[in-house]
Amino acid sequence: MNEAAQSMRIAVGVPRGSPPEETRVALVPSVVPQLVKSGLDVIVERGAGEPAGFPDADYAQHGAHLGTRRDALGAEIVVRVRGWGFDGHGNLDVSHPDQVIIALADPLGSPIPVRAAAEHKLVTLALDLVPRITRAQGMDALSSQATVTGYKAVVLAADRLPKMFPMLTTAAGTISPAQVFVVGAGVAGLQAIATARRLGAVVQAYDVRPAAQEDIESLGARCILLPLAPGDAEDQSGYAKELGAAFYRRQQELMAQVVAGVDVVITTALIPGAPAPTLITADAVAGMRPGSIIVDCAAERGGNCELTRADETVVTDNRVTILGPTNLPSTLPHDASLMYSKNVVALLGLIVKDGRLALDDEDEIVRGILVTAGGKIVHHRVRRALEEVRDD
Ligand code: NAD
């Protein structure tokens, strides 16, 4: 490529994770050559990959430029992990109109920063809104990060439980296997089932979507069938829908019977754009065995257990421990970043053609993830979410 062409290359900036406790990085060194080959310059803030085990030298070796935070944030496209980078007052440290920002930003659950993004005339793309269609699978960052969540939730539970997971027959007697109950059998839940099974636990699982039964059983877990009529539990995209209060009440009563007989409960039940359903009540926890553990992976959205407190450990009077981690992928930043990077590269492949930005809003994926552009909020579901916040 000649010098003039070089200078016209689009730059992709990779800032250090923010907020500071975010340890993942949006691009890892190994994907840089592919991006450079496709006509992009990659500018990495010095130290951005270090918390995830990717030193600056690796980025340089793979063809990235290392720079200051300002250099990375000044790029035409900025790739982040969580959030578009606004502080609590709607300020961004560096940005310019028409700058493209790609991140997991939860614009349906937390739509407030979207207004600031439109005011800054940013082009924001939410990886959380990637439609669940085959062509978009490579960009599905919710799935890649939920895989890490499901795995780590079980590892945390195994670490806390005063029992071992597998059944052991030894000269010192027979140890019975841990009983694990996984609530919600989407991506995180299925990975939790697989991990608990690998550790030797006896696993039961439940999901409101009838289609989950086959997935649960294919992993060697027993599917709990609650005698409930969930009606139409699933929307067109395969996500669970919010169901009525009477349904949840009945579900809570039935859940209480199951959790009373297990050692570990991993909850992962979510409904897009809505608070997490409360499935395990305080009464149900009171009926659990002393020493049992709940890992509530829905803590960030309010939790599936009534007693969950986000990022805290609650120990009840009957000695049940409830963990409410809100960012488990960040506790395994190396692999979480490797997977996230692949999602980001797949998306960049869709929106950068021949080294130029080509956002085709006729494309189903682009339409699905484009939140703001040209100073406007262009995503109608996000606009509605923002109106609901205003109404509250
Ligand atoms: P999610 O994170 O939104 O929710 C997790 C699980 O909680 C879901 O399985 C949901 O049915 C369940 N849930 C919600 N309310 C519940 C309740 N009251 N009781 C019990 N469970 C409840 O979901 P997800 O993991 O992102 O996956 C959602 C669906 O999309 C699944 O069918 C998954 O297999 C599918 N999926 C498809 C693709 C694709 O085709 N590209 C990719 C990933 C996931």
- pLDDT per residue as tens digits for the range 157-167: 999 999 999 99
Share of the chain above pLDDT 90, in %: 79
Let me know the angle formed at the C-alpha of 132 by 128 and 135, rounded to the nearest 5 degrees: 110
| Token pair listed for 98 | 């028409």
pLDDT digits (tens, 9 = 90+) for 181-190: 999 999 999 9
Query: In testing the pocket of ligand 1, which one of 130, 206, 209 has its CB within 8 Å of the most ligand atoms?
Result: 209
Q: Which residue in 6, 61, 137, 176 is the catalytic one?
A: 137
pLDDT of residue 239: 76
Q: Give the torsion through C-alpha atoms of 347, 353, 358, 361, to 10 deg.
A: -60
More confident residue, 90 or 351: 351
- Is the Cβ–Cβ distance between 351 and 38 less than 8 Å? no
Which residues' Cβ are closer than 6 Å to ligand 1?
Answer: 132, 137, 140, 142-143, 146, 183-189, 206-209, 212, 238-240, 251, 268-272, 277, 279
Q: Which residue in 46, 69, 132, 250 is the catalytic one?
A: 132
pLDDT of residue 1: 40
How many Å lie between the centroid of ligand 1 and the Cα of residue 270?
A: 7
pLDDT of residue 229: 67
How many Å lie between the centroid of ligand 1 and the Cα of residue 330?
A: 21
The pLDDT confidence band at residue 2, using thresholds 50, 70 and 90, is very low
In the sheet that 65-67 helps form, which strands lie side by side, from edge to edge?
65-67, 40-45, 10-14, 77-82, 100-104, 123-126, 370-373, 376-377
DSSP structural state of residue 281: -
Find residue 126's DSSP bridge partners. Answer: 103
Residues near 192 by beta carbon (within 8 Å), at least 6 away in sequence: 150, 151, 153, 154, 180, 182, 266, 268, 297
- Is the Cβ–Cβ distance between 384 and 69 less than 8 Å? no
Taking Cα atoms as reference points, which of 114, 46, 44 lies closest to residue 79? 44
Q: Which atom from ligand 1 is nearest to the alpha carbon of 211?
A: 32
Share of the chain above pLDDT 70, in %: 94
Kindly state the average pLDDT of the residues 269-275. 87
pLDDT digits (tens, 9 = 90+) for 341-380: 999 999 999 999 988 999 998 999 999 999 999 999 999 9
pTM score, two decimals? 0.93
Residue 209 falls in the annotated catalytic set: no
Residue nearest to atom 11 of ligand 1 (CA): 240
- Tell which phi-psi region holds residue 291, choosing left (phi > 0), alpha (psi between -120 and 50) or beta: left
Residue 239 falls in the annotated catalytic set: yes
